[in-house]
A and B are shown apart, each in its own frame.
Chain A
């Protein structure tokens, strides 16, 4: 194996690896962000539902709103992995 082909293989492997890392970061960081956001919303939602059970549906909807950012992260990850 020549030094030239070795470099191409390494470069291809590195590109695939970096893509995987990028996809991981996209999903991981958005998941963390959503978790931090949901902490406050969830605590408030549980408090509000404890006092008034009728608002359970709306409270749940508010709690999962930050999940949308994870979907964006996931889309970015999929694009990275399968483009």
Chain B
């Protein structure tokens, strides 16, 4: 990839555009309104926002929850592709590296869908073609009959060796959690490699990657403790950030929750993460811990985007917030369809 050697102007331009886009995302009070609406009202409201084009285009072929699912996925993929088009030089490389996680999401969704015998169209609704596997490739993969064939059709994908190694076990037991773990480990190893490549702004990208790995590891740690699993947790942790898998395994074996939090606090930087960890001293459900840590990660990313206003951070904040907006809207729509109460749905939202 050609390396950009200019002044700061393109960075300022892109950061400002994405800041404006971030400001256009749904404000928290809008979610409260949505929670009190019925499904048709939600579709109408979404059709009046940034999703108007997709809702209009897909309105003739889909209806109800399917329309929302499809419109949200299309919009998210479109927004991500537009961001890639906008970003210059090293920022493009970082953005593309960040978006590769959607390849994993898509491949796993297809594999799980195929295992459950879901129809092609139903799986397609939830795919987000934002990574290196575009819509055409995903359509081709979707046409494959069974999970081994899906894996074979991914031969050109960068992560194929991992798929090849793990797929037969996954297909035989019908669970892809081990494959998922391995894919995400490889993804974060790749992200760390891109960040350490010596590109302009790489140190700022590294901060984000390490923050994400830390948050992911802490989430896994609390999840494992919650499950009371005696299994060796080292294979579930991602190396490369503040804690090594061995340190995390030691914390996993600690009997006292406060002891774990004290150990985490000794090494973790960033005021917002420290405050969130203090909050976790009281016993909370797995889902509350997850939501709290996700919110903290977003908060910390927002802080970083203010410290480095013309870097990769404002771009990543927008990408993350957009993702959560789509997930929130999907959760509200799905919750409404399943007739869940507003309070229950609200617990699943990241606002």
Contacts and interface: CB of A to CB of B under 8 A. Distances in A.
A pairs with B: yes
Interface of A: 39-40, 42-48, 50-52
21 contacts: A39-B8, A39-B9, A40-B8, A40-B12, A42-B9, A43-B8, A43-B9, A43-B10, A43-B13, A44-B12, A44-B13, A44-B16, A47-B13, A47-B14, A47-B16, A48-B16, A50-B17, A51-B17, A51-B21, A51-B24, A52-B20
A60 to B, nearest CB: 15
Given A40-B9, A45-B16, A47-B14, 12 more contacts: A39-B8, A39-B9, A40-B8, A42-B9, A43-B9, A43-B16, A47-B15, A47-B16, A47-B20, A48-B20, A51-B17, A51-B24
A63 to B, nearest CB: 12
A47 B12 contact: yes
B7 interface: yes
Contacts of B20: 47-48, 51-52
Residue of A40, A43, A51 with highest tally of chain B CB at under 10 A: A43
Q: Is the interface of B mostly helix, strand, loop or mixed?
A: helix
B8 A47 contact: no
Interface of B: 7-10, 12-17, 20-21, 24
A52 B250 CA distance: 52
Contacts of B17: 47-48, 50-51
Nearest to B17: A47
Contacts of B7: 39
A48 B20 CA distance: 6
Interface centre among B8, B10, B17 (most CB of A within 10 A): B17
4 smallest beta-carbon distances between A and B, as pairs? A47-B16, A51-B20, A43-B9, A43-B12
A51 B17 CA distance: 6
Nearest to B9: A43
Contacts of A45: 16
Nearest to A50: B17
Contacts of B13: 43-44, 46-47
Nearest to A46: B13
